[in-house]
Chains A and B, each alone.
Chain A
């Protein structure tokens, strides 16, 4: 018989081993589905790997795909540190996309346009995140529910916009007018889609790590998340820090939208985000809420997404497998986290 027993301490190497363990378990679990779809497991994973990391073009595609998830992963990681349960990164991303698209469509010099797009997108995301944070601080409304439901509100507001005033009058497609060519983010590597936003994401992660680990705001975010009462007695204005956290989180999610508009799509359409906001939750959990860990975690999910499409073409396994892998990875990580607090012990005779 086996049982769980509380740990007195957690070894340091666990922080690295747990996500790897979770990913390994996920791939093993999902191989059953691949076999069920009638394909060879090794072959399918081989195609996935080749298509996402096999050559330099594939790697750049994976990096492009990872970018919005780095931003939403950071957004979620920051919020969850303060125990502000922001499930609304998806809506904040969409708001950021809409705002940056509106700004990008105004003719002005390119660098200025990009800067203003980023500011507008971050502000829009922050404004959306402010709603559940304010409701929680003022009226004790559950932030999980309010931030989650706001996603639908923002999505349908976006739909109303692109089906209404922004609708393409020539084609009749529900897509927004494109941003100015000069506002398109520069491509860094000829022949690829590797754009400025990718670099911004990989700069943002260490900056956010520094903010959390090395600034007084980061200290306060960590403390209110772990023990708001001790924080209050210690002279920290808990509500104010929570609002700051929400603004920061929303701004980061908004930047995910900015980067998709400025670097990938150059306009807004209904499927601009295939759930990058929700993937951000998986990314943040795999990263154990560490901003530096968000980068490899986002790369993993991006590789799965790009790889799954190629695998689907080559082996006939539906590309939905990528969603299954994402979901399984989150569950596997949550189970793995149990082992930071408990260990399995064998007791007695079976």
Chain B
């Protein structure tokens, strides 16, 4: 085995009383793809931030090709040949692809070396299949292309080790394949890669070796991920077996949500064209599709944030007339948004505030315009207990919670008032297995209690497991609806590309 490209020895890092990393050893050889696994809060991101220079470790050392180095900031990390692609991209949206690449690169005698940049970009693109139009502004790129640019940026700066923090969370299934072949090509040329993910099937398909973290410590090392089962890895991550929930038979009742010929104008993203669907009580309807095919507009219309140009919508038999969030909520709609931080919670205020936000004007939490702080506090406390939301208490800043706990908080807030219909987008994106299972069980619970649920998602395995029926969206239309008994990943995948229609 060749000498390790990077070696981390005995890394410890604590925040106050919390040990985020404890005596972690990790190494990556040239040409190796290392999987870094762990639940949310296991310390993966902290460890990588230490490697990339965002945090200084309390103890331990980092060696690059056998030499100890001190990494105080990202510039040091880049100089040591370490590149990182964060979950949230660091790009200047108004600048072009090439300009973004050249930021911080010294030019030739005070001038930007445009020709040299173009040549390098073409070379990297050719080597790994990472092609990008150099003159396009970043704001015009898809999420997948922006990620490609981040990878190219790291290579452009001479990275020999690339860290990718949950790169597939933002990608459509087809884009994942492209990413994987690029990563394999980079590894084949001797680069080291650290791949952080929750998705065990991806880790098994891509990586050569895995390190599993739990509570900040290394709890397992897997030398042959491809021949290790997902449930074995899940056990290493969680410390116990994870059993997937079983969706029992159900007897759907009357329709609780119907859309009839809904169309919208092209406001931002794909417009809806003549969308009709219905969800019955006790039924879970999946909406599959590559993101950007109208899912967002659909969620906005159902949530009452956007009024359609044409068509009718009913909730629990009553026609929606004004399309305001307050109206649909009063009719019995609950909503778990795709983007927890921006449209769900108020990160800078206490968690309790976010938990009562949609119902602050109701008698439960206020009277005659005066808040009922005790009722708010008691409600939040009760939900924190019921949903096992890990936080110091209702007054904790919402932004301090992990993604899984935030999702539980949102779920608690919506389910506490027994919605008749629930609209959910990407319910387990970025969550670890344990948290995802919990969310799934809650959905199946609600289904058994007669709630109609719409799940908008890209993870087809998840949809097949949860849903009774799956509708496929393509270019703003529903191109077909399948009973999940008849649906397969291959068939759904084909419909998602618009190749097959079925009704």
A residues whose Cβ falls under 8 Å from a Cβ of B? 1, 3, 5, 8-9, 213-220, 222-223, 226-227, 229-236, 345, 347-348
> Which residues on the A side are within 8 Å of B131 (C-beta)?
none
Complex partner residue of B346 from A1, A3, A8, A226, CB under 8 angstroms: A226
Whether, in the assembled complex, B360 has its beta carbon less than 8 Å from a beta carbon of chain A, the answer is: yes
CA–CA, A234 to B55, complex, Å?
A: 36
- In the assembled complex, the Cα of A347 lies from the Cα of B13 at a distance in Å of 13
Residues of A contacting B366 with CB < 8 Å? 215-216, 219
Instruction: Determine, out of B178-186, B268-276, B324-332, the stretch whose residues face the partner at the interface.
Output: B324-332
- Given the complex, which residues of A lie within 8 Å of B373, measured CB to CB? 214
The one of A1, A214, A223, A230 that contacts B344, using a Cβ cutoff of 8 Å: A230
Are the CB atoms of B357 and A223 closer together than 8 Å? yes
Q: Is B337 in contact with chain A by the CB < 8 A criterion?
A: yes
Known: A8-B400, A216-B370. A227 touches B358 (CB 8 A): no
Interface contact B343-A233, CB-CB below 8 Å: yes
The listed residue (B56, B326, B370) touching A214 by CB distance below 8 A is B370
Q: Are A229's CB and B342's CB within 8 A?
A: yes
Least CB distance from A245 to B in Å reads: 15
Question: CA–CA, A234 to B337, complex, Å?
Answer: 11
CB distance from A231 to the nearest CB of B (A): 7
Q: 28 pairs across A/B with beta carbons < 8 Å?
A: A3-B73, A5-B56, A8-B15, A8-B18, A8-B400, A9-B16, A216-B361, A216-B370, A216-B371, A217-B369, A219-B360, A219-B366, A220-B360, A226-B347, A227-B345, A227-B348, A229-B343, A232-B343, A233-B335, A233-B343, A234-B325, A234-B357, A235-B324, A235-B329, A235-B358, A235-B361, A236-B357, A347-B72
| A235 to B, closest residue via Cβ | B326
**Sorted from nearest, which 8 A-B pairs have the closest CB atoms?**
A235-B326, A234-B357, A235-B325, A234-B358, A347-B56, A227-B346, A226-B346, A226-B348
Contact of A233 among B15, B72, B73, B305 (CB under 8 A): B305
Instruction: Pick the residue among A1, A9, A219 that contacts B353 (CB under 8 A).
Output: A219
- The CA of A39 and the CA of B440, in the complex, are separated in Å by 73
* A217 contact set on B, CB distance < 8 A: 369
Which residues of chain B in 336-382 are interfacial with respect to chain A, using CB atoms and an 8 Å cutoff? 337, 342-349, 353-354, 357-358, 360-361, 366, 369-371, 373
Q: Please, how many angstroms separate the alpha-carbon atoms of A231 and B357 in the complex?
A: 7
The distance in angstroms between the C-alpha atoms of A348 and B329, with both chains bound, is 55
Q: By the criterion CB–CB under 8 Å, are A348 and B357 in contact?
A: no
A1 touches B72 (CB 8 A): yes
Q: Is B405 engaged at the interface, CB distance under 8 Å to the other chain?
A: no
Given A226-B349, A348-B72, the answer on whether A232 and B371 have CB atoms closer than 8 Å is: no
Taking the closest CB of chain A, its distance from the CB of B272, in whole angstroms, is 19
Query: CA separation between A214 and B368, bound complex, in Å?
Result: 11
B293 at the interface (CB under 8 A from A): no
Tell me the complex Cα distance, A230–B345, Å.
6
Closest chain A residue to B372 by CB distance? A214
B-chain residues with CB within 8 Å of residue A9 when the two chains form the complex: 16, 397, 400
Residues in A neighbouring B55, C-beta threshold 8 A: 5
Q: A227, B347: Cβ atoms under 8 Å?
A: yes
Minimum CB distance partner of B327 in chain A: A235
Q: Is B319 an interface residue (CB 8 A)?
A: no
Answer whether A216 and B369 are a contact pair too, CB < 8 Å, given A5-B55, A222-B353, A233-B303.
yes
Chain B residues with CB under 8 Å of A5's CB are 55-56
The answer to whether A232 touches B305 (Cβ under 8 A) is yes
What 17 new A-B contacts, CB under 8 Å, besides A1-B72, A215-B370, A230-B354?
A214-B370, A215-B369, A216-B366, A217-B369, A219-B353, A219-B366, A219-B371, A223-B346, A226-B347, A226-B349, A227-B342, A229-B343, A230-B342, A232-B325, A234-B358, A234-B360, A235-B326
> Is the pair A216, B16 in contact by a Cβ cutoff of 8 Å?
no
CB distance from B322 to the nearest CB of A (A): 12
CB of B16 within 8 A of CB of A8, answer yes
Could you say which residues of chain B place their CB within 8 Å of the CB of A218?
Answer: 371
Q: Which residues of B contact A347 (CB under 8 A)?
A: 56, 72
With A and B bound together, what is the CA distance between A121 and B146 in angstroms?
A: 54
Given the interface contacts A232-B305, A233-B305, A235-B358, does A223 sit within 8 Å of B353 by beta carbon? yes
Which of B56, B344, B349, B369 is A345 in contact with, Cβ under 8 Å?
B56
Please, which residues of chain B bring their CB within 8 A of the CB of A348?
56, 70, 72
Docked pose: A215 CA to B15 CA in angstroms: 36
Identity of the chain A residue whose Cβ is nearest the Cβ of B330 in the assembled complex: A235
* Nearest neighbor of A346 in chain B, beta-carbon distance: B56
